[in-house]
Amino acid sequence: MSNPSRLPAGSSARQVRAERILDITADLLMAHGYRKVTIDDVAGRAGVGKGTVYLHWKTREALFWGVLQREALRLFDHLLEALTKEPEMALPHRLMRTIFMELTHRPLVKALLLADPVLLGSLASDDSVRAAQQELAENTDLLKLLAEHDALQPGLTPETAGYVLVNVTRGFLTAEELGQDDGLDLEQRADLLAHILRRSIEADAPIPEAVLTELNQQVVAMFGELAEAHRAQLRRSY
């Protein structure tokens, strides 16, 4: 008699089961934080055996990283959709404004960017989390593209521009987390973040349309590669 937990790798049924396990893990992570959630908790809520969870993810850490990775991938997909519709989205002030707004609906990605020790536990210092932070909030490759298109403020390098970008953005995210919004609504805070980034790291002169189109295509290709890398890794768990 076949074991129902041994669904064929890559099958739709196995993928549905993996997605359900990720959904439940995400809910438990948000409710209780990394340290208080066990594989037993996940398996019990999902209605599967503990061994079934381990068929998809070999360790507890891998499961929790899978949750974060899926949330980051969904953000990448949203950004790619926006980039294909509007060339100016390739500019940091527009891109980070969109990310800032999206994080309202994606608290796990926000926790990832802030390395929240309560939600992420030991994962907060994991190399995979650090890499995801660099991809989303301090992407030096993106800033190198801006430098190549003369779109950075004179005197700024991709590295110094990245320092400004990540610390300004983190400051806004931290202020929001602490409730230090001074009566500003989300749109106002997002607009203010965009204004500061526009004035502090982007060139004052308007970017010619042809240059902006080329920059956008390169940013789409870069983010597309990052998204596919995350997608491929997730599929291996399915």
pLDDT digits (tens, 9 = 90+) for 102-156: 998 899 999 988 888 888 888 888 888 888 888 877 788 899 999 999 999 999 9
Fold of 69-233: Tetracycline Repressor; domain 2 (1.10.357)
Domain borders along the chain are 6-58, 69-233
Give CA 131 to chain center in angstroms. Answer: 10
Q: Which of 120, 110, 133 is nearest to 186 (CA)?
A: 110
Which regions of the chain are under pLDDT 70?
Answer: 1-10, 176-181
pTM, full prediction = 0.87
The answer to whether 190 and 176 have CB atoms below 8 angstroms apart is no
The CATH class of the 6-58 domain is: mainly alpha
**6-58 and 69-233 share one fold:** no
